[in-house]
Amino acid sequence: MSKHKLEYIWLDGYKPTQSLRSKTKVVSDFTGNVEDACQWNFDGSSTEQAAGNDSDTLLKPVEVYPDPDRFGGNGWLIMCEVLNADGTPHESNGRATITDDDNDFWFGFEQEYTLIDLDTELPLGFPKSGYPAPQGPYYTSVGARYAIGRDMVDEHLHLCLEAGLNVEGINAEVMMGQWEFQIFAKGAAKAGDEIWVARYLMERIGEKYGVAVDWHPKPVKGDWNGSGMHANFSNGAMRDQGGKDMMINICETFGKNIDRHISVYGADNDQRLTGLHETQSIDKFSYGEFDRGASIRIPVNTIQDDWKGRLEDRRAASNGDPYKIAAAIIKTTKEALA
């Protein structure tokens, strides 16, 4: 009888930015269905999620994906929510903040990140002293001088697709050593699950290459682009009814709720949202057609489709929790359409 290796994945309780954790459970039989992945527990006192004298914290499986890279096969990736010992959601559980979730809301997250050379603690391709040539040639680049880390990035794309994640594209980003992948999903929880599992796979690939993955929104200070996780969103009304008045009203409602969004859009985001490098200042709000320097960009496709479709909130940071980001977007959008 073959054994199955179930990799339970969750988010710790560290603040202001949570990290991924995981451990392996070996079982004799497994169907690949989330219902057949049993609840497990872990030492929450070692992850900032419990006290030492009351340390049992629960892992509730919420999604299962095949693990295409587990040595020997029969591997599974088990995305989990963290619960208190009494079964209530732990305060670190961002997925539990999604109180109104269905397939009506669609999300496309553009996850940027930076690959870090562990010897220099600088982005891949950066010299040990000084800086590379100014940004410009690196975005969507080709060639050994500019596209640094492609082997690792392509392997990540392959594994994500093999795992069943709905990655819709990748590209080199504006700063050397900076890359992006895009994930689309129907439903806030599903979108968050897939982003977190994709982040997990990238971190694990980094272990093999000896390369760190930096999710910080401003990994290099100075005249370099930061890293974001632009959130493209729509619901049925936006896709089917639409109209300029509706879209403008949604944008203006977002502008009335700046704190709601910025509070969950990622730590140290003020270092990225400066008004420079294709951003709006963190304390201001703007929207505009095709405007990558606005808080919300109204894409050309939406306008061409008679103002039906999606909007792009460009403020979310690369280290933000997609669960919390999606929950805030749903709340504000529903307020605008009420």
For the chain, domain boundaries: 4-97, 106-337
106-337 CATH pick, 3.40.50.300, 3.40.50.2300, 3.30.56.10, 3.30.590.10: 3.30.590.10
Question: Could you give phi then psi for residue 300, rounded to 5 degrees?
Answer: -60, -35
For position 130, what pLDDT does the model report? 87
* CA 307 to each of CA 210, 300, 302: distance values in angstroms, whole numbers, following the listed order: 46, 9, 5
Q: Residues 92-140: pLDDT tens digits? A: 999 999 988 888 999 999 999 999 999 999 999 999 988 999 999 999 9
Pairing of strands 40-43, 229-234: unpaired
* CA 37 to each of CA 27, 29, 114: distance values in angstroms, whole numbers, following the listed order: 10, 10, 33
What CATH architecture is 4-97?
A: Roll (3.10)
Question: Could you give phi then psi for residue 157, rounded to 5 degrees?
Answer: -60, -45
* Residue 296 host element (H or E): strand 296-298
For position 1, what pLDDT does the model report? 55
> What is the C-alpha separation between 200 and 315, in angstroms, rounded?
23
pTM of the complete model beyond 0.75: yes
Beta bridge partners of 63: 79
Cis amide bond preceding 16, omega within 30: yes
271 DSSP 8-state letter? G
Q: Assess whether pLDDT exceeds 70 at residue 258.
A: yes
Strands (E) in 226-292, as ranges, are 229-234, 287-289
Given a contact cutoff of 8 angstroms between Cβ atoms, the answer to whether 274 and 281 are in contact is: yes
For position 100, what pLDDT does the model report? 86
Mean pLDDT of 27-32: 95
